C-alpha cells in the first residue's frame, strides 16, 4: 500500500478538522492530510490526481454529497474502484441500519466517532496501524 499517499478526510465540521488534523499528522507523518467538506469535492480530487491515497476517512452526514453517496459513486466508477483505496466511515451518530447500509457498499470499516479526543486518537491510530500493515492491492506499485 502507498504509505506516503494522502489521507483523504471528508468532514464538514471545522472543529473536527482542527482537532483531528494534528492527530493524523502525528500518527501518519508521511501522509499529508487533505480535508474535504463533502463527497463531491473528494470525487473531483480523486478523478483529477494521479496520487495514490493511503485512506479515505469519511463522515456519513455531509452536505451536497454524503458519505454513502460518495462510496456508491466510487463503487460504480470503474477507474475509482480499481484504485482500491481503503474506505472507512468515522461518524456520529450511528444506528444499526446505517451500519448495515454502509457495509452493503463494501466499506473497509465503520467507527463511531467518540466525543473524547484521546479515544478518537486511539481509533485513528488503530485504523492507520491496520492499513499500514495490511496486504492490499495498493501495496504493489507495478
2 domain-assigned: no
30 domain-assigned: yes
88 domain-assigned: yes
64 domain-assigned: yes
The pTM assigned to this predicted structure is 0.91
User: Which domain range does residue 51 map to?
Assistant: 7-139
38-52: per-residue pLDDT in tens? 999 999 999 999 888
CATH number of the domain that residue 103 is part of? 3.40.50.2300
- When pLDDT is averaged across residues 90-110 and rounded to a whole number, the result is 92
CB 24 within 8 A of CB 33: yes
12-71: per-residue pLDDT in tens? 999 989 999 999 999 999 999 999 999 999 999 999 998 889 999 999 999 899 999 999
For residue 41, the SS3 value is: helix
C-alpha cell at 61: 452526514
Residues 6+ apart with CB under 8 A from 22: none
Amino acid at each position: 500500500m502507498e504509505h506516503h499517499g494522502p489521507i483523504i478526510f471528508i468532514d464538514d465540521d471545522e472543529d473536527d478538522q482542527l482537532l483531528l488534523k494534528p492527530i493524523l499528522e502525528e500518527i501518519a507523518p508521511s501522509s499529508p492530510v487533505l480535508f474535504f467538506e463533502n463527497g463531491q469535492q473528494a470525487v473531483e480530487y480523486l478523478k483529477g490526481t494521479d496520487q495514490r491515497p493511503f485512506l479515505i476517512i469519511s463522515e456519513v452526514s455531509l452536505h451536497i454529497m454524503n458519505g454513502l453517496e460518495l462510496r456508491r459513486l466510487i463503487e460504480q466508477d470503474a477507474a475509482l474502484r480499481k484504485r482500491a483505496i481503503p474506505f472507512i466511515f468515522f461518524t456520529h451518530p450511528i444506528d444499526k441500519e446505517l451500519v448495515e447500509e454502509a457495509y452493503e457498499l463494501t466499506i473497509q470499516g465503520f467507527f463511531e466517532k467518540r466525543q473524547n479526543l484521546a479515544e478518537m486518537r486511539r481509533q485513528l491510530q488503530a485504523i492507520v496501524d491496520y492499513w499500514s500493515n495490511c496486504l492490499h492491492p495498493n501495496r504493489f506499485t507495478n
